[in-house]
Amino acid sequence: MVYRARARAALVAMLPLLLAGCPNRFLPVNVEFLGGLVYARGYVAENPDDPVEERTYVLKDLLMDVLTPTDGPATDRPPFLVMHGGGFTGGSRDRHDLVRYAGKVAAEGYVCFLIDYRLVDEAPPAPDTWSTLPLTATVHAAAVDARAAVRYIEANADTYGVDTSRLVVGGASAGSVTAFNIAMYGLDVFQNDGPGFPVSPENSVGYDRPAAAVIDLWGGGTLAAEAFDSNDPPVMMVHGTNDFTAGVSFPESLITRNALNDAGVPVVYHLLLGEGHSAWDATVDGKDLAQLTVEFLAEYLP
């Protein structure tokens, strides 16, 4: 009995390691997982510890996972670009809560594209107006990567059976900030890392597509507010009242909502009373985040 108890305890302790890297364990049975696709390449510092003026840069593969519904129509499905949070310093596309959320949305007929993007410790380059701080340079790089992911989806629309005129972009926290940046600024913005950094041929050059809707989970669009206008896509926002995370706090989300209203952009705002940051298990009127997303898109997507 002692041996069995120890064996059971050892197995429980090993479960996180055994399950790591297997995101399809979070997916509904009618969703297919395709992982580790290279959607683009982005510049990173060969040695991030070098002074900025002495850095050399190399191209890094940027990876994507695709969640596809296995039932229903195999064509003309809305694509949903989903981006993780982490304050531009961490996070990844295989976070279990993000995958679980995207899987539920995919089960309702959406093809979800989950991406990694460059982070601050990789010291990506940026144009002069964005390169004054490592974090702002990384905010720019993340938007460049997200824009490249949109081009990849547009270039491969037939392969994935998606209708890119109904492209949804969104994410959590920093991923939501990035979604606002690429959805609200024109298609000519965030196309590259700036002068001296030519776009890699693998980055679906010549393709692009504006977003048709934005999903904001505890992020915000204050960085993009100057670009808001009545032609922008509709936005769903979800935010906890106890979220005071720097840069994406509850008060800042209210500023974003008000700016969207002032610009004439349709916005649906879900308030999570008493919730903090990353409230993945929160519900509104008994509906989880995926249900709220699907209902919003059913109403607002063309």
Mean confidence (pLDDT) of the chain: 93
Instruction: For residue 50, give the CATH number of its domain.
Output: 3.40.50.1820
Chain segment 89-139, per-residue pLDDT in tens: 999 999 999 999 999 999 999 999 999 999 999 999 999 999 989 999 999
Number of independent structural domains in the chain? 1
Tell me if 126 sits within 8 A of 140, measured CB to CB: yes
Of all residues in the chain, what percent carry a pLDDT higher than 70? 92
Range of the domain at 257: 2-300
Residue 12 has pLDDT above 60, yes or no: no
Residues contacting 231, CB < 8 A, separation 6+: none
Instruction: Look at residue 25 in the predicted model and tell me its pLDDT.
Output: 75
Of the candidates 106, 166, 178, the residue with the CA atom closest to the CA atom of residue 297: 166
* Choice among 16-30, 64-78, 121-135, 283-297 with the minimum mean pLDDT: 16-30
b/e map 14-28, b = 16+ CB within 10 Å? eeeeeeeeebeebbe
Instruction: Look at residue 22 in the predicted model and tell me its pLDDT.
Output: 56
Instruction: Look at residue 26 in the predicted model and tell me its pLDDT.
Output: 80
DSSP annotation string for 65-129: EEEEESSS-SSSBPEEEEE--STTTS--TT-HHHHHHHHHHHTTT-EEEEE----GGG-----TT
Output phi, psi for 123, to 5 deg.
Answer: 50, 60
Residue 18 has pLDDT above 60, yes or no: no
Q: Could you tell me the two tokens for 121?
A: 């410790």
Chain segment 214-264, per-residue pLDDT in tens: 999 999 999 999 999 999 999 999 999 999 999 999 999 999 999 999 999
Residue 8 has pLDDT above 60, yes or no: no
Q: What confidence category does residue 23 fall into, taking pLDDT thresholds of 50, 70 and 90?
A: low
Residue 150 has pLDDT above 70, yes or no: yes
Tell me if 112 sits within 8 A of 37, measured CB to CB: no
Q: What's the pTM?
A: 0.92
Tell me if 78 sits within 8 A of 167, measured CB to CB: yes
Query: Exposed, middle or buried, 266 (CB in 10 Å: 0-12/13-18/19+)?
Result: middle
Instruction: Look at residue 14 in the predicted model and tell me its pLDDT.
Output: 41
Tell me the C-alpha to C-alpha distance, in Å, between residue 152 and each of 66, 74, 203, 213, 259.
12, 19, 7, 18, 31
Question: What amino acid is encoded at 42 in this protein?
Answer: G
Instruction: Look at residue 11 in the predicted model and tell me its pLDDT.
Output: 40
Q: What confidence category does residue 13 fall into, taking pLDDT thresholds of 50, 70 and 90?
A: very low
Of all residues in the chain, what percent carry a pLDDT higher than 90? 89
Instruction: Look at residue 219 in the predicted model and tell me its pLDDT.
Output: 98
